[in-house]
Amino acid sequence: MKIIKRNGQEMVFDNGKIHNAIFKANNSIDDITKRLTDEQIDLITDEVSKECNSMGRAVGVEEIQDFVEKAIMKQGAYDVAKNYITYRYIRQLARQVNTTDKQIFSLIDCQNEEVKQENSNKNPTINSVQRDYMAGEVSKDLTKRFLLPEKIWNAHSEGLIHFHDADYFAQRMHNCDLVNLEDMLQNGTVISNTLIEKPHSFSTACNIATQIVAQVASSQYGGQSISLAHLAPFVDVSRQKIKKDVMQELMEVCDVVDMKKVDEITERRVRQEINRGVQTIQYQVITLMTTNGQAPFVTEFLYLGEAKNEREREDLALIIEETLKQRYDGVKNEKGVAITPAFPKIIYVLEESNIHPESKYYYLTELAAKCTAKRLVPDYISEKKMLELKVDKLGHGHCYTCMGCRSFLTPYVDENGNPKYYGRFNQGVVTINLVDVALSSHKNLKDFWKIFDERLELCHEALRNRHERLKGTTSDVAPILWQHGALARLKPGEKIDKLLYGGYSTISLGYAGLWEMVYYMTGSKLTEPEGKEFGLEVMRKLNEYTKKWKTAENIDYSLYGTPLESTTYKFAKCLQRRFGIIEGVTDKNYITNSYHVHVTEPIDAFSKLKLESEFQALSPGGAISYVEVPNMQDNIEAVLQVIKYIYDHIMYAELNTKSDYCQVCGYDGEIKIVEDKDGKLIWECPNCHNRDQTKMNVARRTCGYIGSQFWNQGRTAEIRDRVLHL
């Protein structure tokens, strides 16, 4: 068994240290009649050791000390317990002199287990990642001591709420956005003080797009989305240029130029250029590294409906086809074997022109299904359902992309009544732990709603702090964002404040653990009538709050189905520490993302999507549903059936499969999760039993996007526990 020290370092559990601490506290009592006997000390040590072992995960030092306190008092040795508590308090005061040094040194030495696996797309051994994490520790320390009210930080630390991305809060940075690539390509931009003019070919446009993405990603902390429709006009720019060159070449060798031949050669070369351009995006995105030490968290939006005319639509179809083909092929690792990359994330829109076998672009959907079965992407948006759910103030429905990790902007029209999505952003997220609300109420419904109200006001105050932190920010802090078109064209020195109001940007109230909350309060599952109705009631209440705040403040608060990554483990540990192990509620080392059906619940794919569609409709700030599937590469027809069901029933969904490779033996099946002798979950090749994570490639979708750098123990347990839905 392992423990996690206060600096994040993982160590082997040693019950001798527990025994020694109790022994010292015991000997500090002058009255020997009030001391523990040696047998009692041994009994307490054994009891605490067993309790730690029963947790099924690495236990924190503070948790162990809590267990010791309770065990001493259980023996009636209250003076010993008092001295032990006093000693803990004195040590706590000493540690508060400096809150960051030990954390930073454990990061440098790659010994901080919690931070090492905080982000499944960051390699913690790389200097740039360590540098980002070090800066993050300092930022969190400043946030804790100076920038946030104490009650909010305490609520965050105790797991009542989660103040997302506290490691970036000091820098006045926002979360994620939809890059206005169209404006930047058509009207020019500036990158690193260099003027970038409108490109004269598709391949150049693709190259500029990747440079824009890298710059934008280095100026914020969330994901960014781009539309391939914004690249489509440059295909015809290349076509006209290529056609002119072909005609000139043929005129030099032929007396009469065959225009049909000209068109054939031109289209062949156009496809070659599209191939090169798409390859540029794919390879540059995964090989570029932003200032935070990871590849840009970029999403590509594949939507034929965004094309402005038939020519653009045909060219966009060519780009989409090439994008799906290249993702299907994968990228080569250092061994030269094609593997599944984490980025770019791909979203494919299902629409009437591609959803039916007789549809003109159905071949693209078939290709998307093959790609999903092998490489986990694309994700799918139903145009039909989105037009129903995303309705603006004029009553018009719209279809548009989400940001990187499922966050959706709300519909927005400008002063001329024109819809606007690109150039907009999210200010940040604060998540409420619904499981803690339920457990704190002890099943008393009146107390539940009282605590619910109190926690939401706490979230509201935390969100206001995010908003106020961004207010007063000048465009100079990130010229690529605010001055040169990615999000705006503000003047140097101009504040971004006007973009924080009126719905131009959003700010997200997240929620987590609906499944466990419902089960504890009602005794029914979310899949059962009573549980479902209570879950929907809570969701409606959450929306009432965001609507009330929005109306009062002209800030676009929106309810967001949080994609917990490391936080799923944090919340679970906090709940276990506060309430102990409760079957079906706190007996796992993770809690359920947003409204999802629990990963262990037997349910078929179609029933799951149908049920979750009702909850997704109540998460306007973003949500995604998924179905867990086995290897479907030989059953593409079944994948297409699920895709068709998504189109008819739910706005945004994905299929989760596996895509792994063992570099030791060449095994390309599923890498398994096993327990080592200390109870820690580790990844193991079932063929050669390789357990070295540096010698295997594992890709899993955990939060709506693919991770490839492994996960903390809570998320790893969740991945292990997943049941198949198909």
For residue 403, indicate whether it is catalytic.
Answer: yes
Q: Which residues pair with 433 in a beta bridge?
A: 512
Q: For CA atoms 228, 617, 467, 465, give the dihedral sign.
A: negative
For residue 407, indicate whether it is catalytic.
Answer: yes
The answer to whether the beta carbons of residues 475 and 494 sit under 8 Å apart is yes
**How far apart, in whole angstroms, are the C-alpha atoms of residue 616 and residue 596?**
9
Q: Can you state the percent helix, strand and coil of the chain, rounding each to 5?
A: 50, 15, 35
The answer to whether the beta carbons of residues 160 and 436 sit under 8 Å apart is yes
What secondary structure letter does DSSP report for 200?
Answer: S
Element (H, E) at 280: helix 259-287
For residue 175, indicate whether it is catalytic.
Answer: yes
For residue 704, indicate whether it is catalytic.
Answer: yes
Give the list of residues 6+ apart from residue 455 with CB closer than 8 angstroms, or none. Answer: 155, 160, 161, 432, 433, 436, 437
Residue labelled with tokens 């409760």:
582
Helices 127-142 and 101-108: angle between axes, nearest 10 degrees: 170
Joined together, the tokens standing for residue 132 give 């980002």
Q: Which residue among 330, 485, 704, 707 is the active-site one?
A: 704
Q: For CA atoms 676, 665, 118, 558, give the dihedral sign.
A: negative
Q: Which residue among 206, 405, 632, 703 is the active-site one?
A: 405
Return the closest-CA partner of residue 519 out of 504, 508, 505, 530. 530
Return the closest-CA partner of residue 486 out of 173, 209, 200, 168. 209
**How far apart, in whole angstroms, are the C-alpha atoms of residue 66 and residue 79?**
16
Q: Which residue among 565, 612, 628, 654 is the active-site one?
A: 565
- Write down how long the chain is: 726
**How far apart, in whole angstroms, are the C-alpha atoms of residue 108 and residue 131?**
9
Joined together, the tokens standing for residue 428 give 């940040």
Q: Which residue among 176, 459, 685, 703 is the active-site one?
A: 176
The answer to whether the beta carbons of residues 621 and 509 sit under 8 Å apart is yes
Q: Taking the mean position of all CA atoms in its chain, how far away is CA 594?
A: 12
Coil, strand, or helix at residue 497? helix
Return the closest-CA partner of residue 617 out of 647, 642, 595, 591. 595
The answer to whether the beta carbons of residues 483 and 474 sit under 8 Å apart is no
Three-class HEC string of 600-637: CCCCCHHHHHHHHHHHHCCCCCECCEEEECCCCCCCHH
For residue 334, indicate whether it is catalytic.
Answer: no
Q: Which residue among 348, 422, 560, 652 is the active-site one?
A: 560
Q: Which residue among 180, 238, 292, 407 is the active-site one?
A: 407
Q: Which residue among 225, 382, 426, 659 is the active-site one?
A: 426
Q: Which residue among 1, 173, 399, 403 is the active-site one?
A: 403
The answer to whether the beta carbons of residues 62 and 158 sit under 8 Å apart is no
The widest CA-to-CA distance across the chain, in whole angstroms, is: 116
What secondary structure letter does DSSP report for 723?
Answer: P
For residue 565, indicate whether it is catalytic.
Answer: yes
What secondary structure letter does DSSP report for 708?
Answer: -
The answer for 410, left when phi > 0, alpha when psi is -120 to 50, beta otherwise, is beta
Q: Which residue among 7, 83, 112, 175 is the active-site one?
A: 175
The answer to whether the beta carbons of residues 181 and 452 sit under 8 Å apart is no
**How far apart, in whole angstroms, are the C-alpha atoms of residue 147 and residue 141?**
9
> 151 φ, ψ to 5°?
-65, -30
**How far apart, in whole angstroms, are the C-alpha atoms of residue 505 and residue 486?**
14
Q: Taking the mean position of all CA atoms in its chain, how far away is CA 570?
A: 15
Please measure the distance between the N-terminal and C-terminal CA atoms of the chain and give it in whole angstroms: 36
Active-site annotation, residues: 175-176, 403, 405, 407, 426, 560, 565, 704
